Amino acid sequence: MIGKSTRWLFLVLGLTVLGESASAQTLLDNYPGAELVKESGPAPGNQRIVLGALEKIQNHVEPEVQKFVSGDRYSFTYRLSEARRTGQVSDFFRDQIVARGQLMFECHGRRCGSSNYWANGVFRQAILYGPEQYQHYLAARFEGQTDSIALIYVAERGTGDIYLQLEVIEVQTPGERVEPDTISAALTSQGRYLLMDDADDKTVNAIVQLLARDEGMVLWVVGHSYLGVGESIADAMQRSMQEANAYIARLRRAGANPDQLQGYGVGPLVPLDTSSADRLELVLQRRAD
């Protein structure tokens, strides 16, 4: 069930949410004439939040700054038939964010970077692609019963039509229990599960439970790493392999079946759509019958 603060955001943009009072306080006011074109979610798992302009790094487009949070992601695409300028839409939401939440990052125009990558790489909505000088992006946090992050991207296509992309992430707080079903759903929907810092073994225990109830599942723990100054690709891959094996050791100590675990280190060789810093990801494999 989605949290109250997130439901308010849904109500804002004209969506009907069963069980929510019509008199509930809204976090963001509805933009006049917003027409819902596409929606999806919830998509559980580890969610990327872009907090910097896009730039080309080693022939790949990456955000200057990004972070990951665990939670459910909801995606909404709107056509704004009554809007005349993208800046007008951006100002409409920025004023409300400043008054009601926390503005984490914003950019506009060519300072945001490649419009093609925002449309197809970040939001995976080709309809958002347009001239770079007319794009606007805002990331905001709202605190309440459930903390939520709103990502707002406004773009004008070559036809002059203006579109709004709203991504709402209901953040899982550190104190919450990590459920095996959450990990399983992320592996199914996204193909991977990003392992976060887990000092008290919440995620480790959830993975052990997931493996125990599904003996046909094999999980690959894949290590990724940055390329250090003067470091060879082979050394970076070996370093990431060591990190993967260390996590597998934690899983085994917690009771996981060693036959259901594999490790691999790719070093800096898989930078697309991910963080360039050291990280570990789970990848699902099914045993042949």
Structural domain boundaries, residue 269 = 180-286
Q: Among 154, 171, 188, identify where a domain stops.
A: 171
- Going through the chain in order, the beta strands assigned E by DSSP cover 34-50, 54-57, 60-63, 66-80, 102-108, 136-142, 148-156, 162-171, 193-195, 217-224, 261-267, 279-286
The amino acid that residue 215 corresponds to is E
What does each of the 289 residues of the chain score in pLDDT, given as a tens digit? Answer: 444 444 444 444 443 332 232 222 356 788 899 999 999 878 776 677 888 887 765 556 667 777 777 778 889 999 999 999 999 999 999 999 999 899 999 999 999 988 998 998 889 899 999 999 999 999 999 887 668 899 999 999 999 999 999 999 888 765 556 789 888 888 887 778 888 666 568 889 999 999 999 999 999 999 988 776 677 899 889 988 988 998 999 999 999 999 999 999 998 887 654 444 578 899 999 887 6
- Tokens found for residue 281: 């990801």
Q: Among 147, 171, 195, identify where a domain stops.
A: 171
- 75 and 153 together in one domain: yes
Residue 199 is predicted with a pLDDT of 57
- 151 and 195 together in one domain: no
Query: Model-level pTM?
Result: 0.61
Backbone angles phi, psi at 32, to 5 degrees: -55, 130
Q: Among 149, 171, 193, identify where a domain stops.
A: 171
For residue 9, which of 167, 134, 123 has the smallest C-alpha distance? 167
Q: Are 171 and 146 in contact (CB under 8 A)?
A: yes
- 201 and 229 together in one domain: yes
Distance separating alpha carbons of residues 104 and 123, to the nearest angstrom: 18
- Tokens found for residue 141: 């946090």
- 20 and 148 together in one domain: yes
Mention every residue, 6+ apart, whose C-beta is less than 8 A from residue 91.
Answer: none
Domain total in the chain = 2
- Write down the residue that tokens 């070093």 correspond to: 267
